[in-house]
Amino acid sequence: MSGRPSGKVYVGELGDNANKAELEELFEKFGKIREVWIARNPPGFGFVFFEDPRDAEEAVRDLDDTSLHGRRLKVEHAKARDPGPGGRGGGRRYDDRRGGGYGGGDRDRYGGDRYGDRGGDRYGGRRGGDEDYSRRR
């Protein structure tokens, strides 16, 4: 984040029954809303995006700890996401620190060959047979 206030507001403790229309109705009195997004898996939180960051500031000040469906809402400025590797949001993908998932596999946690630099497979042999043995015959 560049130090400039954001119009993105985090809304927590929504429960399973909150919907976009309810959040729009609750927040629209503070200013023009660009978007409302509610998480479904896992449920319980969402984001409201205001056009003007000053409207977001006012909404956070006035709506934090108010009630919706008998639950106390947690309303605060959304935190900037850590860009993670490659400068984009989200950080690591499916278990890539262990080499599993989308690629890799036989690497240790330091990025080296899991089975050492012996040039063999996981059982200590070479793939395709022992070259020295086949030359001797």
Tens digits of per-residue pLDDT, 84-134?
A: 666 555 544 444 445 544 555 555 555 555 555 555 555 555 555 555 555
pTM attached to this predicted model: 0.59
pLDDT in tens, 12-61: 999 888 899 999 999 999 999 999 999 999 999 999 999 999 999 999 99
pLDDT value for 96: 45
Which amino acid is residue 75, in one-letter code? V
At 122, which helix (H) or strand (E)?
Answer: none
Q: Report how many helices (DSSP H) and strands (DSSP E) the chain contains, helices first.
A: 3, 6
Q: Encoding tokens for residue 63?
A: 């709506």
Which amino acid is residue 124, in one-letter code? G
Residue 39 CA to residue 30 CA, distance in Å, equals: 22
Is pLDDT of 76 > 80?
yes
Distance in Å from the first CA to the final CA of the chain: 68
pLDDT value for 9: 97
Half-sphere exposure of 41 (CA within 13 A, CB side): 0
